[in-house]
Structure 1
Amino acid sequence: MKKLLFGCITAVAALIALVGCEQDKVVYSGPNYLMFSDTLYQYGVQESNEIFNVPVSATVPADYDRTFAVEILDKKSNAVEGKHYKLLSNTVTIKAGEMAANVEVQGNYESIEPTDSLGFALHLIIPESNEWEMYGTETKVVLQKVCPFDINNFTGYCTVTSTFFGGNDIPNQNVDMRLITSDVAEEENTIILHGIYYDGYDTKIKFNTKDPLKPLIEMKEQVCGSTGEAFGTIYGNGNLLLNQPTSYTSYYRTCENYLLQFVTVSVDNKDGSEYGTVGTFINVIEWISEAEAEKLKEQGY
């Protein structure tokens, strides 16, 4: 019994020692370096023209305020300060005892076009002794216009162009574009596309609005047609299944009211096992006005 008790005490002591080792923190004891926290930032400029931050970091704290100048590198920028954005200050201050601060920037929503590719470079002016060669003293900021999301902008008439159309893999699908309609679904941020490939089949697509810079779309597996319509005969259970592969990025654009979606079309057997894959295709769906839709109808769409 004594041997067992001694063994338990020894084991507990070893565990305590091990935990103590794991809790020891590695303390940085190197030089005092200053830098932008990253070399590239991307910011969505929205209607509210909210302020966004470009972080600056130090490797060690100081017992006094540290103020440094920040300059715009015009030769490395195509965004114009005062037009597309403005720096709220040409200096940044890391306060005593702290190791980070922000360069504050405000975008100009009205001056940026949806298709613009704009950016500007910043240079942190610091003593040479504080420069870390590995990270440098510059960063690049990319600006992207982000229009407000309104699901109603993705309803009504829309055109579907797809690599599914007109290819040799789908002998009975010889159109180059389809004119369809869409409605708001009961589910949040979800629409119903009517007849994306064939009449009589509805397709639900959900908009992921969590991150304005990642306007992604999501779709569950659903039937989009029949093998009889596509190939003139029945394969498997006769249904064409539409899936959105996770290996590709499918997204929407609020400023231009369109979405780009990668889809995989497949067929299952009657027992639910996979019969085969038709292929992976790209859909581009663009919402248009009623007047534009009427013109397309006159052209036979």
Structure 2
Amino acid sequence: MRNKKYLFNGTVAVFFLLFMVAAGLGLAGCEEQVIVYDGPNFVRFSDTTLSYKESYPKAIKIKVHNGGPILNESINVSYTVGGTAREGRDYRIEGNKGTVIIPLGQSFGEITLYLLNNSNNILESSSIEFTLTSVSPSDKIKVGFGEGGLGTKMTFTIHDACIMEGLFTGQLPVGGNRVYQVTDIDIASSDCKRYTVSNINIGLLGFPQFFNWDAPVGFEAERPKLDFIDNGNNTLTIPPQAVSGLASGYDTLSGTGVWNPLNKRITLNIRWKIYRLADGKDSVVTIPLTYIPQ
């Protein structure tokens, strides 16, 4: 009996030990795994290629990062600029050109780039080539990763834009001195002839109420698109078209417009046919939308 009891307890002990090991492995698998790079410090471009249209009006941040442990001092990285794009005509670099600083205790520094829009309906492209050349403190960090210096070069491609492309602020007068507006509306073209407005819903979700009409809400889509055609003489044509998200009870849209070459503003006069008003009659209204370059 003693032997049987001893064997039983031994079996329980073995199973208990196996259970604890398995549980330990399970818990270890659930713990967050922290991977720490403990190799030599190096700096490199975060991206090796980027591309934008020249009509993009905002600052573009080109990141340079420290790929190793964070240092307790700032890192000064020197770089050169080449390529086919022309500084001062196609782009400009803000701040101290040729040097990017990774601040103390940080992992990233930035080169701030602005594109200069000289759109002329000639669709070509040019490039800016950035190359990291040296870094300080040089005794603690090097340029590029590995023997080949991975990440020391970055090619930025500038795509030419059509003359009316870019980001715009759209405005709609809604009575009196009130103006409703929406920012970051993109107008784009692939042939410099037909353009697409990314959003004509500038307060138009409830525009009938602005005019005291007894009509349903205009758009079921949040960002309905509209095409217009450049006639080549600063006038525009909005060909009849069905607009995605247009609520039932409305016809297709059409109209005319103008482009001001001095301030590059675009004005679209959209003809909108409204069905089934309160008096049972149809009505055609013209809605003026103005797009101001940002």
TM score, norm. by length of structure 2: 0.45
TM score, norm. by length of structure 1: 0.44
Bigger share in helix: 1
